[in-house]
């Protein structure tokens, strides 16, 4: 564990992280998961791993994605249910990329109820859209991503906000959302996230 401190085997933390493209959500998810000693669970990573390994699930997902369709909720829900019932996730987890819809919010409630648990907090990384666009344009130039134009990047931002708005609204109504400024260095943002969670009694050093 960080700073030589160990977390108890009980307690854990059950978290969800959301944030617009370019806000460093993936990086912060990894940092948080390490700090709390819980698995980072990304539905996108699970799908990509299965596609790479050529599993039955991977073949099924690849066919859906190749046809231009979205992976159906039923399949995504089943994947998440299976993952959250595995031993390492029973004491805590960090979800990234799920739930994406209001229906999935309710399904996650049902999944967690099966293990007698519930979400502790939803970390929402917020960032000024223009600052995020500028960051992504700079990265696109450095990495030679000619397809990442300002128009494309802004469209992705709009899609994110349209998709996540009902999810965030649902969790705000429950008082679970913790808003954190996502701009700054990795360490700066991580410190903000952990401080905000600590204010709610969710402390990785407990």
Active site members:
25, 100, 139, 145, 156
Q: What DSSP string describes the chain?
A: -GGG----SS---EEEEE--TTS-HHHHHHHHHHHHT--EEEHHHHHHHHHHHT-HHHHHHHHHHHTTPPPPHHHHHHHHHHHHTSGGGSS-EEEES---SHHHHHHHHHHHHHTT----EEEEEE--HHHHHHHHHHHHHHHT-TT--HHHHHHHHHHHHHHHHHHHHHHHHTT-EEEEE--S-HHHHHHHHHHHHHHTT--TT-
d(CA 180, CA 93): 19
The neighbour count for residue 138, using CB atoms within 10 Å, is 10
């Amino acid at each position: 564990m960080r700073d030589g401190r160990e977390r108890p085997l009980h307690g854990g933390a059950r978290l969800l992280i959301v944030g617009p493209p370019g806000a460093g959500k993936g990086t912060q998810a990894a940092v948080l998961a390490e700090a709390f000693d819980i698995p980072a669970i990304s539905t996108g990573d699970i799908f990509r791993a299965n596609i790479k390994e050529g599993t039955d699930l991977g073949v099924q997902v690849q066919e859906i994605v190749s046809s231009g369709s979205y992976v159906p909720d039923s399949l995504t829900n089943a994947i998440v249910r299976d993952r959250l019932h595995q031993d390492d996730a029973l004491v805590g987890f960090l979800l990234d990329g799920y739930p994406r819809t209001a229906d999935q919010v309710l399904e996650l409630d049902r999944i967690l109820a099966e293990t007698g648990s519930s979400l502790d907090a939803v970390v929402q990384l917020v960032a000024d859209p223009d600052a995020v666009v500028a960051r992504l344009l700079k990265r696109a130039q450095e990495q030679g991503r000619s397809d990442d134009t300002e128009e494309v990047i802004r469209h992705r931002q709009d899609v994110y906000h349209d998709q996540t708005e009902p999810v965030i609204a649902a969790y705000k109504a429950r008082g679970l959302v913790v808003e954190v400024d996502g701009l700054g260095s990795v360490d700066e943002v991580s410190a903000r996230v952990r401080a905000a969670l600590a204010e709610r009694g969710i402390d990785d050093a407990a």
